[in-house]
Amino acid sequence: MPFIPHTESEIRDMLDVIGVDSIDDLFDEIPKDLRAQALSLVPEGINEMEIGRVMTERANKDGLYVNFIGGGAYEHHIPAVVWELTTRGEFYSAYTPYQAEASQGTLQLLYEFQTMMARLTGLEVSNASLYDGASALAEAVLAAVRAKKKATKVLIPSTIAPVYRQVVNTIVRNQGIELIDLSFSEVGGHTPVEIVSQQTTDDVAALVVPQPNYFGVLEDVDALTDWAHDHGLLVIGLVNPIAMALLKPPGRWGKQGADIAVGEGQPVGVPLSSGGPYFGFMCCKQKLIRQMPGRIVGRTVDTEGRPGFTLTLQAREQHIRRSKATSNICTNQGLMVTAATIYMALLGPDGLRRVALQCHANTKRLLNSLAKIEGVKKLFDRPFFHEGVLQLTQDPTAILKALEAQGIVGGIDLSRHYPQLGDSMLVCATETRTDTEINNYGIHLERIMSRRRLDPPCAQKVAGKG
Amino acid sequence: MLIFELSKPTRRNSSQSPREESKITDIPEEFLREDLASLPEVSELQVVRHYTRLSQNNFSIDTHFYPLGSCTMKYNPRACNKYAMLPEFLMRHPQSAVTTGQGFLQCLHELQEMLKDVTGMKGVSLTPLAGAQGEFAGVTMIRAYHESRDDQRRDEILVPDAAHGTNPATATMCGYKVREIPTDAEGDVDVEALRAAVGPQTAGLMLTNPSTLGIFEGHIQEIADIVHEAGGLLYYDGANLNAIVGKVKPGDMGFDVIHMNLHKTFSTPHGGGGPGAGPVGVNDRLLPFLPIPIVTEEGGEYRWLTELDLPQSIGRLSGSMGNAGVLLRAYIYARLLGKEGMNRVAEFATLNANYLMAQLRSRGLDIAYPTRRAAHEFIVTLKSLKEQTGVIAMDVAKRLLDKGYHAPTVYFPLLVPECFLIEPTETESKQELDGFTDALVEILEEAHRDPELVKSAPHTTPVTRLDEVKAARELDVAWNNE
């Protein structure tokens, strides 16, 4: 019996103490006609050696690829220490720190995380994390609407990830909130203040400002922030934590700084993992803390005057406020935050900045080298961080498929969500990509693009023979 | 000592960052950060020692019995972690083509099928990131269903007063009013009150069964009929699925929609408060509304169903496809257990709960619902202890920490005064349960003999009781080098 320690004689003794004949008697309050038939879609159990074989086979089938995809989740070097420590049983198998005295490890770590995130974003306070970047943006929209009381609209640039817009819409639409899409400049790939300023600000609670945006392009954050504040809107910065080591943090945008900063925490210490678990972060100005959803850890003292840590401001939360809570959220992404905190401590300010710089340098090299290929053009003339958009003269779906056959996952096809950009794709090279890999990408892309244009494969074969 | 207090300017771990600092020439200064972010500057050894020591300040399943009611703190098999963390799974980008992830998708598809079987539902979406997000998805589907029938007047969700706080909070997030239904003396939903509460305004009822009181709701079929006859739908909060897995299927009880907490029933780690996973299951009428993406199999090939396949879907809930790594751990756990093992989960969770309840009762503790069987958890009330000694449930909880046991859930559900909600789970041995009984009885004796000892507990933890009022009044949520 997997993971059940009872011996036959113990079972007997336990049933005697309870005063029943069999385990089945313990289910006698369940109406007979509700008792389930045997499970039919669950196979017989297997042992650890066998499941190891199954999983290894499936993993091998999936294989490893050289990755040039970003779009919200990024491959970065993760020091060995990070997950060695994170998977210690004391972190891995603990629960939400309700009993503070028995959870000081997790609580102190969360306080350190909050401090790191506040410093990285240049804002005063942080919560202990949310589910992921997309849902964190939705929670920021809800927080902004609560803070602005009567306003029910939020301005959302089209330069944030399409899936973020979808998620925000799913989460906020039944609360009577209207999301207004802002179009972008097809020259710069950014959201010019001139476009934003055409919007009405009546009944608008906030403006979302991504930095960098989905195209990797840097937005005019100072001008956008000042415009929003001049019109009585809150500013929600949507940022990448690695980029924050290099770029001006939201807390210093414009004259007053963004009011809320959120984003996807995955880049700092969390593996790509086919999509999760990741974590979202949220920081804000002190005056908005009571609108913040999720767990918050505070520093206090014990009865002997020693410093200690505890969950605080719980009066915002669902287990106290029930239907009047700021959100229904009851966990954070504790284990992911454990990894992120250890990652940021190991890298430090200089290390994180070096990672950011190397990401930028590699992406610049990648874009320059690919844009030299005939039929490939780099879109947008604005400064960028670690991603860029390439326009192709061919269907990106087929190109990406051909690259995959060479062991390269080459980018994200943008043609469905951004038809105005034609046949285009989003590419990324983080610090983990080598010069050789970047060169190889260029060689394969050139060959794939040109072969189709010039010679069908059979013609090449003949030429090769000659 | 905070990690920041170990920091010295210019100290760095050269083996952890790119070798050379690339110069920046093409980003104008107005976009750049003027200073370094003030993160700690510490050595690798300092990091390892600091966080290893912090970990030792935690109670966890791996180190302590953790009978936290309603949380199902059972053993998290290490194999689940090891094989979910194979490099091919970890390195795969979520946006890469499905052709690069057929093995991964096969695991998810099989998990999806197993969850359908266990819950008796017609369709499952794995995408919700946590139990609360599963609830959100479930209630949003209820709303989408009524809207699709042009039944707009339903604006109320019914929730028993014993429910988890997430239920009413979720209903509000989905734009519903909340009406509470009282509980009768036996711990069941007050059926007459329910009958009086339903009407054309009823969108649905959210119910946990076994309830948060640790008992199986005996009138479930009658409740289902009342809600359905009023045109409402029935939502199953799967928080306590561990108590009935393999024994009763929520679909057979008449539920239309359900969420499961894989971090409970399927033993994925709680991780100090997340990540979880809260898949949702639905019956026929809610199938079109399931959140996307959903993995599907066609002729041995796996792919995602998206908004293009399911135009009526309530939409996406996360940046990619859910907490993939958690789902893989749940899959591995389910395969290790198999159908036999899964049946035994409920059997032994129930055996342990009823045994512990019987032992505590025989040693003089008051059981809140003494006439009822415990499902996988039960409630002890310390009201008489408080009256006799002034020692309250929280004091006893803290004293348990001194004895090497994590405290049960305290003061929840709100209906029972001075309560402990105790859930031992199936993976604990009889010896552990006996040790817990002895410790609890010892504390009650201490409470009579030396109440101060219990009131001032804990004494052996890294800190004693914390000043929570100060924490909330003088907010300090980020360190300012002071």
Q: What is the CATH number of the domain that holds B354?
A: 3.90.1150.10
Domain ends where: A343, A358, A376?
A343
In a domain, B68, yes or no: no
SS3 call for B379: strand
- Cα dihedral angle (B94, A95, A80, B8), rounded to 10 degrees? 120
Residue B455 pLDDT level (bands cut at 50, 70, 90): very high
- What is the extent of the structural domain holding A326? 80-343
In a domain, A68, yes or no: no
In a domain, B149, yes or no: yes
**Same-domain pairing of B272 and B354:** no
In a domain, B430, yes or no: yes
Domain ends where: A343, A375, A409?
A343
Residue B451 DSSP symbol: H
What mean pLDDT is predicted for residues A56-77?
98
User: What pLDDT score was predicted for residue A37?
Assistant: 86
- What is the extent of the structural domain holding B385? 345-468
In a domain, A69, yes or no: no
User: What pLDDT score was predicted for residue A186?
Assistant: 96
**Same-domain pairing of B161 and B287:** yes
- Cα dihedral angle (A160, A162, A163, A167), rounded to 10 degrees? 80
Average pLDDT, chain A: 94
Number of domain units in chain B: 3
User: What pLDDT score was predicted for residue A452?
Assistant: 54
User: What pLDDT score was predicted for residue A322?
Assistant: 80
Q: How many CB atoms lie within 10 A of CB B284?
A: 10
User: What pLDDT score was predicted for residue A62?
Assistant: 97
Nearest CA in chain A to B17: A351
Region for B423 from its dihedrals, namely left if φ exceeds 0, alpha if ψ lies in -120 to 50, beta otherwise:
beta
Domain ends where: B275, B309, B337?
B337
In a domain, B170, yes or no: yes
Domain ends where: B337, B361, B377?
B337
**Same-domain pairing of A403 and A318:** no
Exposure string over A406-420, b if 16+ CB within 10 A, otherwise e: bebbbbbbbbeebee
Interface probe with B: pick from A46, A55, A433, most Cβ of B within 10 Å = A55
Cβ distance B247 to A312 less than 8 Å, yes or no, reads: no
pLDDT digits (tens, 9 = 90+) for A373-397: 999 999 999 999 999 999 999 999 9
Average pLDDT, chain B: 96
For B131-178, where are the alpha helices, taking DSSP H only? 131-148, 166-173
Nearest CA in chain B to A329: B132
What gap in Å lies between CA A214 and CA A357, rounded to an integer? Answer: 18
**Same-domain pairing of B192 and B300:** yes
In a domain, B274, yes or no: yes
CATH number at residue B136: 3.40.640.10
**Same-domain pairing of B318 and B351:** no
In a domain, A72, yes or no: no
User: What pLDDT score was predicted for residue A466?
Assistant: 33
**Same-domain pairing of A124 and A183:** yes
What mean pLDDT is predicted for residues A108-117?
98
Which H helix or E strand runs over A412? strand A412-413
**Same-domain pairing of B324 and B408:** no
Number of domain units in chain A: 3
What gap in Å lies between CA B418 and CA B439, rounded to an integer? Answer: 18
Residue A314 pLDDT level (bands cut at 50, 70, 90): confident
- In this predicted structure, the answer to whether residue B22 has a pLDDT above a threshold of 80 is no
**Same-domain pairing of B244 and B302:** yes
Domain ends where: A325, A343, A361?
A343
Domain ends where: B337, B371, B387?
B337
**Same-domain pairing of A22 and A143:** no
**Same-domain pairing of A327 and A393:** no
Output phi, psi for B288, to 5 deg.
Answer: -65, -15
Q: Which residues of B touch A401 (CB under 8 A)?
A: 97
What mean pLDDT is predicted for residues B376-390?
97
**A451 vs A94, higher pLDDT:** A94
Residue A44 DSSP symbol: P
In a domain, B476, yes or no: no
What mean pLDDT is predicted for residues B304-327?
96
- In this predicted structure, the answer to whether residue A465 has a pLDDT above a threshold of 60 is no
In a domain, A206, yes or no: yes
In a domain, A354, yes or no: yes
pLDDT digits (tens, 9 = 90+) for A317-373: 777 778 788 888 877 899 999 999 999 999 999 999 999 999 999 999 999 999 999
CATH number at residue A203: 3.40.640.10
ipTM above 0.90, yes or no: yes
**Same-domain pairing of A444 and A364:** yes
The alpha carbon of residue B248 is apart from the nearest alpha carbon of chain A, in Å, by: 5
**Same-domain pairing of B356 and B459:** yes
Q: How many CB atoms lie within 10 A of CB A319?
A: 16
User: What pLDDT score was predicted for residue A464?
Assistant: 40
**Same-domain pairing of A338 and A356:** no
Residues A45 and B338 sit within 8 Å (Cβ to Cβ): yes
pLDDT digits (tens, 9 = 90+) for A20-48: 999 999 999 999 999 988 899 999 999 99
- In this predicted structure, the answer to whether residue B264 has a pLDDT above a threshold of 50 is yes
Nearest CA in chain B to A161: B319
Using alpha carbons, list the distances in angstroms from residue B280 to A192, B114, B252, B253, B307.
41, 13, 16, 16, 17
DSSP A137-168: HHHHHHHHHHHTTT--EEEEETTS-HHHHHHH
The pLDDT > 90 percentage for chain A reads 90
Q: How many CB pairs under 8 A join A and B?
A: 657
User: What pLDDT score was predicted for residue A330?
Assistant: 76
Closest in B36, B355, B358 to A350, CB measured: B36
**Same-domain pairing of A357 and A337:** no
**Same-domain pairing of B370 and B427:** yes
**Same-domain pairing of A121 and A58:** no
In a domain, B481, yes or no: no
Q: Which residues of A touch B39 (CB under 8 A)?
A: 116, 119-120, 344-345, 347-349, 352
Interface probe with A: pick from B10, B17, B167, B301, most Cβ of A within 10 Å = B17
**Same-domain pairing of B248 and B367:** no
User: What pLDDT score was predicted for residue B446?
Assistant: 98
**Same-domain pairing of A168 and A298:** yes
Closest in A90, A128, A312 to B471, CB measured: A312
Nearest CA in chain A to B371: A29
Closest in A10, A54, A103 to B59, CB measured: A103
Using alpha carbons, list the distances in angstroms from residue B319 to A329, A357, B247.
17, 26, 36
**Same-domain pairing of A316 and A191:** yes
In a domain, A71, yes or no: no
- In this predicted structure, the answer to whether residue A232 has a pLDDT above a threshold of 70 is yes
Q: Which of B426, B411, B444, B77 is nearest to A55 (CA)?
A: B77
Residue A456 pLDDT level (bands cut at 50, 70, 90): low
**Same-domain pairing of B322 and B379:** no
Residue A451 pLDDT level (bands cut at 50, 70, 90): confident
| Cβ within 8 Å of A, B 392-451 | 397-398, 401, 406-407, 409, 412, 426-430
In a domain, A2, yes or no: no
pLDDT digits (tens, 9 = 90+) for A142-183: 999 999 988 999 999 999 999 999 999 999 998 999 999 999
Cβ distance B33 to A48 less than 8 Å, yes or no, reads: no
What mean pLDDT is predicted for residues B8-28?
89
**Same-domain pairing of B164 and B207:** yes
What gap in Å lies between CA B395 and CA B448, rounded to an integer? Answer: 13
- In this predicted structure, the answer to whether residue B237 has a pLDDT above a threshold of 50 is yes
**Same-domain pairing of A376 and A446:** yes
Residue showing tokens 């510490």: B42
**Same-domain pairing of A311 and A193:** yes
CATH number at residue A419: 3.90.1150.10
In a domain, A67, yes or no: no
In a domain, B437, yes or no: yes
